[in-house]
Structure 1
């Protein structure tokens, strides 16, 4: 369902940018450079930047100059570059968005940081935990912002979900179950199947692990109890699907939380070649002492979502939604007014926080470098228990 969701959000972003006029850009706006011409760019950064008065679409790079020129003309960038390095070398650019294949994230994020650029890097942050630690340290040394683009965590509904769990009204978290699938599946030949570019369901669908760690935040990973992969037929090192059972330890009282995580880049259809599982939106269920709490479509909640709370005693279920404001954004003034805009996507909320962070201002929500390191450590641990190699480092620096 992940591919369908992406298509929906592209359409939603296009309509939103059409219905809401482009604001007057600040003459002191941050100049954005986009590294790669990936399909995700319009939804993830271009349309959000169009509605942000303090972000200027300055440059876009491809390894082919003509491709970059076409993208620049289509989306009104000021400049096009025939290599990623040319973009990074441009002193006019303030920050870069990196949407290269997973295996190239560390290389180009580190080069951008060394060139004095702030970095917003697509998930997964890096290929492995070692790269994540080096990247976070480099950003600290340079005094620059470097963030993993887990956009969903910036949406008001995610903050409501966490507030419900943290409130104590429903007792302790006992277990969680998160799922993310692609049905129809990711087509053969896609870069997400390439081991050398850090492919695999645990990498590309790292959202499911992110949902889990967000829900049990503060709890420490104690043990990966089980990790069973369904190997990709054309490369057994790549996980087509992964079932994981992880134990987290709550630091408040030491009780253990069992978390099931299921990712699948080629989810079996209900009826082969006729009925895919289009209803399987990326979601998470959390059982507490007193309730079952379910966050439906946690990945793209701006399209549609709900948080259901089923009371174990009465069996009654209540539903909650949050498209603007909420626990984090509710009292915050944004470039769209107090609490943001209901039509803003997860990506737009993310960009709002990112630009404020770059300006050195307080942000309602943030994903720390330490969180991204812990995320990659968990992925490495899952691969180890599954008997698969961690994703390799492509960068020459990491190999030396």
Structure 2
């Protein structure tokens, strides 16, 4: 389902961001961005958002195949292309790098990019494990550069509307959460990097939004997440890779109470009655509070479509909300994608301006610690960077 959402995002951005790009002139302080890899996600995550945003400009792209980089650059109107990642990092015009490489390579190239003086926007998951995450932010601190894990959904107005609802006190404290993300069976070819153990593939790594959303709405203490159970369904062609992962978490909230949470991620979900793909099952999280149950449908790509269902236990009434813009934005404002909001925050941070939201180093480290713990509890063991397992 994630791949379907991504395809729909291309259409959304063509309408809202692509069409408006003709009206946008880049500011003199626009952040000059280079891209490592020619991955399919680049268009949705960066090219289209940057086209409509005056504060960012994509100036270079690199691939290990020079012709691939050249053809991609031509397709998207990118001025420069390189046949190696090192060549792009040596380009003095490039100020920041978007890293959309396979998961197991994120850490290595984030560190190399910062050592070359570039800020980094790193696709989720940040890297292979929490040890590597700490290394990334240690280098960011040493170089005084910006490093951001690209959990784009958290920058969208809908995510903050739900967070305000949950933390506002009207419905009491959170008692339970259940996050779920699935991809219909056979949607992902066997050759895809999501199935490659050596590149950090697997359901939990790819669909780690389930953990991100759980943590975002429960506010764990720094050491407040305990994995009480974790069960992996190994991929039939490589038992080291999780085709699906289900886990139960006990979360100590910063508000002083314990929350029971479950997550389920599946890259190869069995069809209904063995025939019908469950294409309607978009990523969702259910948040139960003392006096209400909040259901956030399609939290990962809320710009496409979402709804927030609120069941009040006291009145027995159910209400619905949708939020495509922040309250501070004009009513006529365009409903930007999650990626566009994220790009603005990233560029604002680089230029010394306050972003409307941020994923902190501590946040990303705890995210990777949770992934480590789930893998270890499941018996698969925590992941290693590609350089250490090849």
TM over 0.5: yes
Secondary structure of the structure 1 residue equivalent to 2:386? coil
| Deviation of the 1:105 alpha carbon | 0.2
Q: CA deviation at 1:234?
A: 1.2
Structure-2 separation of matches of 1:78 and 1:39: 19
Q: 1:215 aligns with which of 212, 217, 224?
A: 217
Alignment match, 1:368: 360
Correspondent of 2:202 among 174, 179, 200? 200
Residue aligning to 1:175: 176
How many angstroms does 1:222 deviate by?
Answer: 3.7
Q: Secondary structure at the match of 1:97?
A: strand
4+ residue runs over 4 A deviation: 337-340
- Determine if the alignment matches structure 1 residue 235 to structure 2 residue 253: no
Q: Indicate the larger mover: 338-347 or 188-197.
A: 338-347
CA 1:138–1:18 in structure 2 vs 1: closer, same or farther (change >3 Å)?
closer
- Alignment-derived partner of residue 262 in structure 1: 264
Cα distance 1:68–1:339, how it changes in 2: closer, same or farther (>3 A)? Answer: farther
Decide which of 329, 338, 344 is 1:346's aligned counterpart. Answer: 338
Cα drift, residue 57 of structure 1: 1.7
| Distance change in 2, residues 1:237/1:171 (3 Å) | same
Give the unaligned 5+ runs of structure 2: none
C-alpha deviations, 1:57-78, integer Å up to 9, x for none? 2001111111111010110101
| Structure 1 runs not aligned, ≥5 long | 331-336
1:16 to 1:69, Cα distance in 2 relative to 1, 3 A: same
Distance 2:261 2:224 in 1: 10
CA distance in 2, matches of 1:250, 1:263: 23
* Cα-Cα RMSD: 1.6
Structure 2 residue matching 1:303: 3-state secondary structure = coil
TM-score (structure 2 length as normaliser): 0.96
Maintained 8 Å contact 1:139/1:146: yes
Q: How many residues align?
A: 387
Give how far 1:144 is off.
0.3
